[in-house]
Chain A
Amino acid sequence: MRQQIIDTKINLHASGEADECLFEYLHAEMVNYALSKSCKNKEGEEELSRLEWMGFSVGYRIIERLTREWNRFKDELDMIKFICTDFWSSLYHKQIDNLRTNHHGVYVLQDNSFRLLNKVGTNSNKQYLQETPRLLSFTCGLLRGSLANLGIISTVNAEISTLPSCKFHVQVQRI
């Protein structure tokens, strides 16, 4: 039974990855919903904790499905590398373009053409720069959730300078 389900899904992808836009529309609706529910805080920033939480719960679950047949990770850097390569390419169809670390628990993941941003604007178009945090907080939660399930407690922030590239700052919390 299980095998059958897997087979149909592979066929689906062979037919041209049609379900791609489905996730993007759903994500857009979630952002819409989260904004309709939130009120702005004192600094005028949007309150996006709902999106972040939804991302967290998805990340926490999906990493388990992804690592099911994977060898045990050597260390923290190994896990982060997995996130940058296989994790990212299965969710966002490309790998992280650049990873930097200070070797003391700070990792910066840079994606030069992030899937959820690359239809918003290109070439340093500043028009929608204000609105972009709402498109990233789901993914911040997703990262935090998957790392949490791998045993890394962290905080994740996103930073955008020019569309459609963005950076995710992962700060590991040492206990």
Chain B
Amino acid sequence: MSRAGTKLDSKKVFCMKNILRYDENLYIINSELFTLTYGALVAQLLKDYENVEDVNKQLERMGYNMGIRLIEDFLARTGSGRCYDFRDTAEKIQTGFKIFLGITPTITNWSAAGDEFSLCFEANPLTEFVELPDHCLNLKYCNVLIGVLRGACEMVQMEIACWFVQDQLKNDNVTELRIKFIKRLEDAIPAGED
């Protein structure tokens, strides 16, 4: 209490020992905190960058950084082991969405070779309060998801590519995310070490 000019009561106004009120309504707010915070971030990025493409790139980069950490949480929480094939991976990605965002996207449109599929979102907490203004039609609002998936898969030795095919914010019926398997990453030993 060393701030000049403010004399504070020595006795507490009140002590916070009353029982916590676990109101369901208040719990919802916590996920809205995430939604709104993400919205504020996108708004700030749009302010900072002139080019919408740069915003997309930045969102992807942030997602990547989140993904490489989130995979740890995912593995710890689910205790899941290695995937047998890419279909197995698809199901685990679906579980990931269920755990972290509480939504279950549907897995559809498998390619014949089984290396490419789509995730379709009917509800998406990220876009709950969002409407895109006309000048941002190139904005990929949920681009953070792409980064998260790429980062998370890279940490389990899998290189994937993903992109949005349809977007509810652009008046499509569903948001469709296409995911393609590129290759397995081998453990690389840092240069100069045996």
Query: B83 at interface (Cβ–Cβ under 8 A)?
Result: no
Interface residues contributed by chain A, number (CB under 8 Å)? 60
Do the beta carbons of B44 and A54 come within 8 Å of each other? yes
Smallest CB separation, B131 vs chain A (Å): 14
**CB < 8 Å A-B pair total:** 149
Do the beta carbons of A29 and B66 come within 8 Å of each other? yes
Binds A, one of B28-36, B84-92, B164-172, B183-191: B28-36
A22 neighbours in B (Cβ, 8 Å): 34, 66, 70, 100-101
Question: In residues 1-20 of chain A, which contact B (Cβ within 8 Å)?
Answer: 5-6, 8-13, 15-20
Do the beta carbons of B37 and A26 come within 8 Å of each other? yes
Smallest CB separation, B11 vs chain A (Å): 9
Query: A89 at interface (Cβ–Cβ under 8 A)?
Result: yes
Cross-interface CB contact of B29 among A30, A62, A85, A98, cutoff 8 Å: A62
B69 neighbours in A (Cβ, 8 Å): 21, 25
Query: A95 at interface (Cβ–Cβ under 8 A)?
Result: yes
Smallest CB separation, A39 vs chain B (Å): 14
B58 neighbours in A (Cβ, 8 Å): 33
Most buried by B among A18, A37, A55: A18
Smallest CB separation, B194 vs chain A (Å): 34
Cross-interface CB contact of A33 among B8, B20, B23, B62, cutoff 8 Å: B62
**1/0 contact trace for B11-40 toward A, CB 8 Å?**
011111010110111111111111011111
The chain B residue sitting closest to A25, CB to CB, is B66
A71 neighbours in B (Cβ, 8 Å): none
Chain B interface helix/strand/loop/mixed? helix
Smallest CB separation, B34 vs chain A (Å): 5
Given contact pairs A27-B37, A108-B1, A100 touches B13 in the complex (Cβ within 8 A): yes
Do the beta carbons of A100 and B34 come within 8 Å of each other? no
Given contact pairs A86-B26, A97-B16, A102-B9, A9 touches B31 in the complex (Cβ within 8 A): yes
Query: B7 at interface (Cβ–Cβ under 8 A)?
Result: yes
Do the beta carbons of B29 and A90 come within 8 Å of each other? yes
A12→B34 CA distance, assembly (Å): 14
- Can you offer 24 A-B residue contacts whose CB atoms are under 8 A? A5-B128, A9-B31, A9-B102, A10-B27, A10-B28, A13-B27, A20-B30, A22-B34, A22-B66, A22-B70, A25-B65, A26-B41, A29-B65, A29-B66, A32-B62, A53-B44, A54-B40, A57-B43, A58-B39, A93-B30, A96-B16, A101-B8, A102-B7, A169-B3
Q: A66-B26, A93-B30 are in contact. List 18 more A-B contacts (CB 8 A).
A: A6-B28, A8-B103, A9-B102, A11-B102, A19-B34, A21-B73, A22-B34, A25-B65, A28-B65, A32-B62, A58-B36, A90-B27, A91-B33, A98-B12, A99-B16, A101-B9, A102-B8, A171-B6
A-to-B contact residues, CB < 8 Å? 5-6, 8-13, 15-23, 25-30, 32-33, 37, 50, 53-55, 57-58, 61-62, 65-66, 69, 77, 81, 84-86, 89-91, 93-103, 106, 108, 169, 171
